Amino acid sequence: MHLGSQPHTPPKSLKRSLSRQKVARAPKTIWPILGLFAISIPIALWETHHLARASVLYYVPDFLPGTLAYWIYRHYNPILPNWTLPLTICVVTTAFMADPNWTFSAWFACLTLGFLVPLTRQIQNRRVNWVAFHIAKYAFGIYLGHSLLLRWIPMSWAVLPVYLICVAAVSVASFHFVEEPMIRFGQRLTADPVPSGIEERVGK
């Protein structure tokens, strides 16, 4: 091949074939994750009556679908159109609000999103991506703030707008006044010091 020639690009039909083979040959290791999810449910229900201090077990069914989502993302190609993502979120939210509780309703919502979100193609709309970027930016504050606010704000359709506004305010404030300063402080602590004399040699 000449040095100036372009690299060979597989035709689209071959790419589609390879994508289908990727899905077809994906290793069947999803069952251990689903098995752990199934086992975690009775443990979580048992924990509330016997191990009140080990509350982390209570939330294992909420976190395992995240592991499931990552596995699907690594082994499968997105096959659902991007417009199904907001539809899925709306349907799951409506189902959760029909019977808001932190056991089966929450576990079903997390499991459904863990399955469907990684199978959905990315939305290309700039405004939607801008919103998604900022949600991801303040995700840790949302994660911490929403659970704390639930201690004082009972969940219902009537108070949902107020609750979401409070979550947004708490997450933005916690990021700019706590999380971001601590990130910068950690970066300064872990930054490699410049050996003496290097700056002078670089300047010359």
Please compute the mean of the pLDDT values over residues 125-148 and round it to a whole number.
89
In this prediction, residue 26 has a pLDDT band, given cuts at 50, 70 and 90, of very low
Instruction: Give the list of residues 6+ apart from residue 114 with CB closer than 8 angstroms, or none.
Output: 64, 65, 66, 68, 69, 72
Q: pLDDT digits over 53-109, tens only?
A: 557 788 889 899 999 999 999 999 999 999 999 999 999 999 998 888 888 999 999
pLDDT digit string, tens, across residues 173-199 = 999 999 999 999 999 998 876 555 555
Closest listed residue to residue 139, CA positions, set 94, 97, 100, 170: 170
Whole-number Cα distances in Å, 61 to 70, 91, 99, 100, 145: 15, 20, 18, 16, 20
pLDDT band at 201 (very low <50, low <70, confident <90, very high): low
- Asked if 97 contacts 157 with a C-beta cutoff of 8 angstroms, the reply is yes
